[in-house]
């Protein structure tokens, strides 16, 4: 990672977020366009949302380097992709890896995405045992619709929440959050939605309304931004696109959302940290202003 940096003061971030709250449809100001490294020790107010990172954002980094990057970014919450905590490891190895995150002061909010194409109880049980050993209170998942009975059984047995991830128009099961809500019906309240706002918008969802429509079934949230609401390839740093991030955050604060608001930064995989810094600073600034 480059050692050069552009310092983002608390004051400048709050001013930027204040402008965004007033003009929610405008892209992020170019004031942070040249940020190239991490400033983790910027004083920040207590935020009304648990803002963190989906570790898929750091998928090209081994676990130790990913944890170091999270610390540099000042991140306290993470949803872990199995590239950073392997599902094939032994329970002892999983617990040891979990300890590395915890020793770094990072709270594990969940893991995934876990996909189940068939109702294979042994396979699903193994994944829930993995989640339990990793200290995950929630799994982000993509279950085939005909596996929901089995999934509900696992949720009850392990007391681990299942947040079904929508993946946009190419997803045959869960294009939008509303598709999840329609199929889970009155099942166990620990079953709900992981709303990815980028994929949801591409599926035609109003992501601001979707927060209130999901209510307590909204268990987890992936934040990204797009310059074109029909193209997944148009992803940019959060605040530089056209998605209504401010409106989503307003609804989350209003609902006292206690789940993970995680940045999922899918671009610039080899050098993600500068863009993650810019995105997180924008997200934190909005949350602070809304507080």
pLDDT tens for the chain, residues 1 to 291:
433 333 334 454 445 554 444 433 333 433 343 343 344 444 556 899 999 999 999 999 999 999 999 999 999 999 999 999 999 999 999 999 999 999 999 999 999 999 999 999 999 999 999 999 999 999 999 999 999 999 999 999 999 999 999 999 999 999 999 999 999 999 999 999 999 999 999 999 999 999 999 999 999 999 999 999 999 999 999 999 999 999 999 999 999 999 999 999 999 999 999 999 999 999 999 999 998
Look at residue 47 and give its three-state secondary structure: coil
pLDDT of residue 68: 98
Tokens of 76: 């306290």
Q: 149 vs 145, 163, 192, CA distance in Å?
A: 9, 15, 14
Give the chain's end-to-end CA distance (angstroms, integer): 33
Look at residue 116 and give its three-state secondary structure: strand
Tokens of 120: 């294979």
Question: Could you tell me the pTM of the whole model?
Answer: 0.85
What does the CA dihedral 57, 270, 287, 47 come to, rounded to 10 degrees?
A: 70
Parallel/antiparallel/unpaired status of strands 260-263 and 218-223: parallel
| Burial group, residue 152, by CB count within 10 angstroms (0-12, 13-18, 19+) | middle
Closest CA to 262 of 85, 84, 78: 78
Q: Domains for the chain: give ranges and CATH numbers.
A: 49-272 (3.20.20.150)
Q: Cβ contacts of residue 145 below 8 Å, gap of 6+?
A: 173, 183
Closest CA to 225 of 266, 194, 258: 266
């Amino acid at each position: 990672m480059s050692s050069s940096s552009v310092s983002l003061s608390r004051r400048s971030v709050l001013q930027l977020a204040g402008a965004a709250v007033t003009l929610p449809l405008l892209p992020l100001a170019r004031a942070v366009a040249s940020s190239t490294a991490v400033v983790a020790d910027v004083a920040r107010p207590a935020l009304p949302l648990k803002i963190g990172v989906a570790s898929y954002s750091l998928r090209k980094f081994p676990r130790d380097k990913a944890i170091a990057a999270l610390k540099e970014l000042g991140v306290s919450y993470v949803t872990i992709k199995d590239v950073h905590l392997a599902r094939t490891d032994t329970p002892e190895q999983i617990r040891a890896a979990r300890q590395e995150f915890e020793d770094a002061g990072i709270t594990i909010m969940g893991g995934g995405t876990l996909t189940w194409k068939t109702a294979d109880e042994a396979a699903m049980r193994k994944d829930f045992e993995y989640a339990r050993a990793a200290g995950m209170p929630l799994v982000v998942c993509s279950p085939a619709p005909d596996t929901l009975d089995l999934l509900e059984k696992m949720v009850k047995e392990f007391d681990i929440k299942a947040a079904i991830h929508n993946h946009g128009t190419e997803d045959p099961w869960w294009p939008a959050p509303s598709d999840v809500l329609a199929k889970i019906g009155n099942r166990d309240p620990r079953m709900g939605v992981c709303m990815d706002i980028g994929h949801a918008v591409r599926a035609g969802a109003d992501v601001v309304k979707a927060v209130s429509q999901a209510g307590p079934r909204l268990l987890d949230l992936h934040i990204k931004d797009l310059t074109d609401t029909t193209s997944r390839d148009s992803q940019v740093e959060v605040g530089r696109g056209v998605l209504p991030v401010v409106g989503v955050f307003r609804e989350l604060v209003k609902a006292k959302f206690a789940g993970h608001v995680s940045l999922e930064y899918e671009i610039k995989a080899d050098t993600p940290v500068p863009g993650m810094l810019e995105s997180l600073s924008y997200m934190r600034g909005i949350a602070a202003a809304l507080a």
